[in-house]
Amino acid sequence: MLSHTRTFVTTLVLVSLLTRGMPAEETPSTDDATTWTLAFKFKADQTVHYQDTFQSTIRLQKGEKKVRILNNRESQKHYRVLSVDMKGQGLLETVIDHVKIHAQQGEEPAIRIDSNNSLDECPTDFRPLLATVGRPIARSRCATSGQLVRVLSISKAWLEAHPGNSNQSLAKTLQKQGFLVPLPDKPVAVGASWDEPLEATTADEVGKRHKISLKKIYSLEKVENGRATITWKTVRLTPITNPRLLAQLIQLISTGEVVLDIERGVVVSKTSQIDQTLVGPFGPDTLMTAQTKHELVLSEGN
């Protein structure tokens, strides 16, 4: 007992001496953590180019039968800032400059497309898509927070290439697959998180539609050399047990990383990954796997 008492007293003395020798301003405090303002900075007549690579492989298995669905795409694209308003919101015009596609389903002949080639060399189903290359696709107003404020127009060629969609749905898809990412509306420190609500519509075996709530959770992982690294993960909020509905969500549950140049307010890179396996989506003897990587990288000189 005496030994424990002496140890306790000695500890108190050491703590007292250390505290007394430390100036008040050097006392660690979480309140003094550095915060960062993360925002897009649009400038009139600014043009930003990206290299876009998308690789997707879906494998379906029923008993001993297996089918692979391959969808790979390489493209160059850019956005041009037509004007900037008093809030810093940019009126942007999106253009795909070049695209190469490699697709194949099962044992069917592979489809290889290069927009540099003649339309006559392209399968009929893909010609409307290639007709959009090199032309403005959409004009949208975007906030400095990365929010798509309003879609002003979308080209008829792009609508013809994606039948069954609306101006709004296509433009949102185009922007979200591009350089935009939601950013916090106030300065944040490393470790801070914010989220983006999402909604998907699925259909069951009898055609009944089900709305599924999802959420992307973003976190500021680090800031080095003026660049912020932001990671995200996607979580499903709506409880689901039906494998058929889960199969329709398999390509939405992504993780990813964004690198933002804080000074220029430009995305340097954006990488999204999906690696999901689902047992029994179309019956007890079925299996489905989805592996996708989508990478957007700022081109040299931008």
CATH of the domain at 118: 2.30.230
Residue 181 placed within a domain: yes
Residues of the chain with pLDDT under 70: 1-32, 158, 162-177, 301-302
Mean pLDDT over the full length of the chain = 85
Residue 262 placed within a domain: yes
- pLDDT tens per residue across span 151-192: 887 777 767 776 666 655 665 666 556 788 999 999 999 999
Residue 70 placed within a domain: yes
Residue 19 placed within a domain: no
Q: What phi and psi, each to the nearest 5 degrees, are found at residue 137?
A: -95, -50
Residue 2 placed within a domain: no
DSSP secondary structure string for all residues of 45-92: T-EEEEEEEEEEEEEEEETTEEEEEEEEEEEEEEEEEEEE-TT--EEE
How many structural domains compose the chain? 1
Residue 110 placed within a domain: yes
| Gap between the Cα atoms of 147 and 176, Å rounded | 10
Burial class (CB within 10 angstroms; exposed 0-12, middle 13-18, buried 19+) of 258: buried
Instruction: State the pLDDT at residue 12.
Output: 34
- pLDDT tens per residue across span 116-132: 988 788 888 888 888 88
**Structural domain of residue 102, as residue ranges?**
37-298
Residue 104 placed within a domain: yes
Residue 212 placed within a domain: yes
> ∠ CA 18-24-25 to the nearest 5 degrees?
125
Q: What is the pTM of this model?
A: 0.83
Instruction: State the pLDDT at residue 131.
Output: 84
Instruction: State the pLDDT at residue 8.
Output: 36
